[in-house]
A and B are shown apart, each in its own frame.
Chain A
Amino acid sequence: MGLLKFVSIIAGIACVSAVLYCFSLADNIDKRFSGRRWSIPSKVFSDLTVLYPGQRINSTFFYEKLRRLGYRQVQHAPMRPGDMKIDESSAELFLHDLIVPSHSRPGFRVRIGLNNGQITSVENLEDGVPVHLLELEPEELMLFYGPEQEQREVVSLERVPQHLIYAVLSAEDRRFYRHYGLDPVGILRAVYLNLRHGAIVAGGSTITQQLAKCYFLTPKRTLSRKLKELFIAITIEAMYAKDEILELYLNEIYFGQKGTVSIHGIAEAASFYFAKPVSELSLAEAAALAGLIKAPNRYSPYASTMRCQQRRNAVLQSMYANNWITTAELQAALTASIQAAGYTVYAKKAPYFIDYLSEQLKTLYSPEVLSTLGLAIYTTLDTQVQMAAEWALERGLARLEKSYPTLHKREADKRLQGAVVVLQPRSGAILALVGGRSYRVSQFNRITQARRQPGSAFKPFVYVNGLDAFTPAALLSNEPRSYAQYGEPWEPQNFAPVDAEQVTLRNALAQSINLPTVDLAMKVGLDRLVSTASAFGFSTPLKPYPSLALGAFEVIPLELARAYCAFAADGVLPYPLSLKDVVDENGTVLERRHMDLERITTPAKAFLMSSLLRSVVTDGTARSLKKRNISFPVAGKTGTTNDYRDAWFVGYTPDILALVWVGFDNGSSIHSSGASAALPIWAELINSIPQYLTGNWFKLPPGVVQKMLCLESGQLFLDKACPKALQEYCLVENAPAEDCSMHRKEGAVKRFFKGINDFFKKF
């Protein structure tokens, strides 16, 4: 009796202690579950992709884009979002849902007619109605991981299909809805099975215990840890409903490894292994995922399809034994093959662009916010243009190294470098940014961080200043002169000999002749040139020295590209945009960036500059573009610096602008000019993004007139007097109004009258 009493007291104390212990745990558990449960990395997205009938496309980049958006090729008509059927003349897609801050639309089936690199038609297959404009969803570019490197998509239990729940319960804890966190029947069963097989073949841990282990404990296997796990599990069961526990579990559980990043949660696993939303998983796929939980890296279809299939079939058999699937369902699922989606180990797409973007994001959000709050960050990047830019740059640099073997350097960090930026001149949207040849080797961004001399690529900013006083037909001096600079004489020279004593302003820019450019800069005034450069957005120090006219002061390549945008956009300088919207998990827009316009010169002068820079392409230093299949109107400018240290080409149309730079980081000579090193890269890039090439040119703005001028004097052309006429654009305010004085005396009418008079005199 005494013993019984003693045991009862001990048991009572143990029970009270256990309850008290559970209470102490409850507080901790509540804190953990009531706050933010998981860290969700913020995602960075590209811009939308627009498709329309009549649009030309680059088929290679187009299909690559669809693949990257998660469209999978199927042989049957598309039945589920993400299905894609391709034949020779069309691509049928079941579009994913599109959700962006400004609008959304559900996925639907569409047929895109294709012929010879052109979209011939777009048809909505749901109702047969033609579509004038189709938008593809933004592409995921990168995730901001926290130190734990976890990737997880959170899903609510309502969105998880019942067969997936049954599969998980069959695989891990078939009596989940019947126990209280601890399953004695399950433990006994596990003990029996393990004894029978002489090895550990089954575990007795319930789903709740596993959750307790994931959330609160280290993986160490000790008795005290096991006991603690038990108490936590019981407490969780007392505090939460079964469905809540299951939802937590499905979102928490580890599902394998993608490079250094761990995949957590059933939704993330569905997209990692089968590239599908969780709601679309088939029974066989659901069973395969449920089977993975036991040992994700062993049963992963990426590790072994056979092992994955065996484990899946065991789960299916268990589901059948529990009466959760029918014989027919079992048979169909058992024979289904495992078709994993395939993946590429996480690598930053457009890494230099992402770095540039991250710099701006850092001013808005802490790294912790970015790696935990699951923000959606929408950007301006067009991944097709980015692919084209990366491809064209690498090809161009490799070609140069092949042509000039001295440019080929063995050390990775000393190799020939290049950089490309592509902008929409009106909005300033950065469509592509390649800051160097290999991000792995060097993260130095040669578009946004480098300071290089622009050489002749700076000349347009001299000429735009000169337009106030000079027409494109005005004559500039080509005579050698000495200028004072840093207290010393400076005698600029032409790149190639030019015999003429005078050249027209248009020709001087087209042929990139140095002497008349310096002549013009001096006439306009160097102080004015510095203030113009500042208005065009150059932030680096530029001094009022004559050599400034020839681009002897360093600039940041992105600023140079941006400054050219003003010529391509009616004199309006855009702010370079990479970030568009930041949206939180609830869809609230936290940040919005719009195009920001600032007029810095008149539309008339901008038009005139584009016209002058078009001459560079038609008759000047960039005329080799014609040989490179550039047959539509383009304005552009080459640039080459002293000793061939830098090669530049900036080219644009009303729709797109691209800048290419080639050089060595240490300033060694590349022995090539802008026209031979940078221009071919530009041409290859532009030719591979036909969707941006409309063939349009700038409309004549108010303030510009076209005049017939005498080529020799630059004054109004006199028919039959002036030897050569020139059709030229001029600003209204300084268009020549006087007849050619050089040939006036020899005018045709005068000659006619003179002839008559002479004739009469004879009589």
Chain B
Amino acid sequence: MIFSKSFKALYLLFIGVLSLSVLCSCSLIPFYRSDRETMLSAREAEPRVVASLQLTDQGRALLEEGNVDAAIRMLERAISLDPQSGENYYYLAEAWLIKANRSQAVECNRLAAMYLRGQSDWMERIVDQQARIEQLER
């Protein structure tokens, strides 16, 4: 019986070590997150991304000036340099919204939402854009 109690203690110890190791692995998550942030900023420092952002800015400026066709062309060129940048799709959706092209606005808005998910400031704008696209339908 004593023998069995000491085994139970050993068993509990084993469980304890197991729990500790699980906790340790949980504490790795923040590291992973910071890794992702580093990766993101590394992506932004990528020369092609930097070049693409130049075109994004020009596209946005054209959009603000009301030169929608030229803005679309510029944003398309930004996308061809960096097809995984959500910002370009957001502005492109905005341009198609102005041109009342619902199907293209919807696709671009969806892509923006996908690439910018997790960025709350952007998501707010994207949801708002989505609402405006829906209004367009009505």
Query: A: which residues have CB within 8 A of B?
Result: 48, 50, 52-55, 101-103, 132-133, 424-427, 429, 569-570, 572, 580-581, 589, 592, 594-599, 603, 654-655, 694, 696, 698-699, 701-702, 756, 760, 763
Smallest CB separation, B11 vs chain A (Å): 8
Given A596-B104, A694-B46: A132 touches B69 (CB 8 Å cut-off) = no
Given A133-B55, A592-B69, A598-B107: A54 touches B79 (CB 8 Å cut-off) = no
Is there an interface contact between B107 and A52, defined as CB atoms closer than 8 Å?
no
Is there an interface contact between B108 and A654, defined as CB atoms closer than 8 Å?
no
Is there an interface contact between A103 and B58, defined as CB atoms closer than 8 Å?
yes
**Which of B62, B69, B111 lies in contact with A570, CB distance below 8 A?**
B111
Q: How far is it, in angstroms, between the C-alpha of A594 and the C-alpha of B48 when the chains are bound?
A: 22
**Which of B51, B111, B117 lies in contact with A572, CB distance below 8 A?**
B111
Residues on B with beta carbons closer than 8 Å to the beta carbon of A597: 104, 107-108
Is there an interface contact between B47 and A54, defined as CB atoms closer than 8 Å?
yes
Is there an interface contact between B107 and A54, defined as CB atoms closer than 8 Å?
no
Is there an interface contact between A594 and B72, defined as CB atoms closer than 8 Å?
yes
Known contacts A54-B47, A132-B51, A133-B55; 9 additional CB pairs below 8 A are A52-B48, A54-B50, A102-B69, A103-B58, A132-B54, A133-B51, A424-B80, A569-B83, A594-B76
Residues on B with beta carbons closer than 8 Å to the beta carbon of A594: 72-73, 76, 104
**Which of A101, A424, A701, A760 lies in contact with B73, CB distance below 8 A?**
A101
Interface size bucket, B side? 20 to 34
Any A CB within 8 A of the CB of B74 = yes
Smallest CB separation, A605 vs chain B (Å): 13
Is there an interface contact between B115 and A572, defined as CB atoms closer than 8 Å?
no
A-B CB contact pairs (8 Å), 12 listed: A54-B48, A103-B70, A133-B55, A427-B76, A570-B111, A592-B73, A594-B104, A597-B108, A694-B46, A698-B84, A699-B115, A760-B4
9 smallest beta-carbon distances between A and B, as pairs: A54-B47, A52-B51, A102-B73, A102-B70, A597-B107, A426-B83, A133-B54, A133-B51, A132-B54
Q: Which residue of B lies closest to A655 (CB)?
A: B83
Query: B: which residues have CB within 8 A of A?
Result: 3-4, 7, 11, 46-48, 50-51, 54-55, 58, 62, 69-70, 72-74, 76-77, 79-81, 83-84, 103-104, 107-108, 110-111, 114-115, 117
Is there an interface contact between A702 and B51, defined as CB atoms closer than 8 Å?
no
Smallest CB separation, B48 vs chain A (Å): 6
Residues on B with beta carbons closer than 8 Å to the beta carbon of A592: 69, 73
Q: How far is it, in angstroms, between the C-alpha of A579 and the C-alpha of B55 when the chains are bound?
A: 21
Given A52-B51, A55-B47, A594-B72: A426 touches B58 (CB 8 Å cut-off) = no
Is there an interface contact between B114 and A589, defined as CB atoms closer than 8 Å?
no
**Which of A53, A569, A595, A598 lies in contact with B47, CB distance below 8 A?**
A53
Q: How far is it, in angstroms, between the C-alpha of A101 and the C-alpha of B54 when the chains are bound?
A: 18
Smallest CB separation, B63 vs chain A (Å): 12
Q: Which residue of A lies closest to B110 (CB)?
A: A599
Q: How far is it, in angstroms, between the C-alpha of A426 and the C-alpha of B50 when the chains are bound?
A: 19
Residues on A with beta carbons closer than 8 Å to the beta carbon of B80: 424, 426-427, 429
Q: Which residue of B lies closest to A654 (CB)?
A: B83
Smallest CB separation, A475 vs chain B (Å): 30
Q: How far is it, in angstroms, between the C-alpha of A595 and the C-alpha of B4 when the chains are bound?
A: 74
Q: Which residue of B lies closest to A568 (CB)?
A: B83
Q: Which residue of A lies closest to B88 (CB)?
A: A426
Is there an interface contact between B47 and A101, defined as CB atoms closer than 8 Å?
no
Q: Which residue of A lies closest to B69 (CB)?
A: A592
**Which of A50, A53, A101, A103 lies in contact with B81, CB distance below 8 A?**
A50
Residues on B with beta carbons closer than 8 Å to the beta carbon of A654: 83-84
**Which of A102, A599, A603, A698 lies in contact with B74, CB distance below 8 A?**
A102
Residues on B with beta carbons closer than 8 Å to the beta carbon of A595: 76, 79
**Which of B3, B50, B114 lies in contact with A132, CB distance below 8 A?**
B50
Q: How far is it, in angstroms, between the C-alpha of A102 and the C-alpha of B73 when the chains are bound?
A: 7
Residues on A with beta carbons closer than 8 Å to the beta carbon of B81: 50
Q: How far is it, in angstroms, between the C-alpha of A547 and the C-alpha of B119 when the chains are bound?
A: 47
Q: Which residue of B lies closest to A756 (CB)?
A: B7
Residues on A with beta carbons closer than 8 Å to the beta carbon of B47: 52-55
Q: Which residue of B lies closest to A431 (CB)?
A: B80
Smallest CB separation, A537 vs chain B (Å): 16
Smallest CB separation, A567 vs chain B (Å): 13
Q: Which residue of A lies closest to B117 (CB)?
A: A702
**Which of B50, B51, B103, B115 lies in contact with A50, CB distance below 8 A?**
B51
Residues on A with beta carbons closer than 8 Å to the beta carbon of B4: 760
Residues on B with beta carbons closer than 8 Å to the beta carbon of A52: 47-48, 50-51
Is there an interface contact between A589 and B83, defined as CB atoms closer than 8 Å?
no
Q: Which residue of B lies closest to A698 (CB)?
A: B84
Residues on A with beta carbons closer than 8 Å to the beta carbon of B7: 756
Q: Which residue of A lies closest to B83 (CB)?
A: A426
Q: How far is it, in angstroms, between the C-alpha of A698 and the C-alpha of B51 when the chains are bound?
A: 20
Is there an interface contact between B73 and A694, defined as CB atoms closer than 8 Å?
no
Q: How far is it, in angstroms, between the C-alpha of A52 and the C-alpha of B80 when the chains are bound?
A: 14
Q: Which residue of A lies closest to B107 (CB)?
A: A597
Residues on B with beta carbons closer than 8 Å to the beta carbon of A424: 80, 83
Q: How far is it, in angstroms, between the C-alpha of A514 and the C-alpha of B69 when the chains are bound?
A: 48
Q: How far is it, in angstroms, between the C-alpha of A756 and the C-alpha of B10 when the chains are bound?
A: 12
Is there an interface contact between B114 and A427, defined as CB atoms closer than 8 Å?
no
Is there an interface contact between B107 and A599, defined as CB atoms closer than 8 Å?
yes
Q: How far is it, in angstroms, between the C-alpha of A425 and the C-alpha of B84 when the chains are bound?
A: 12
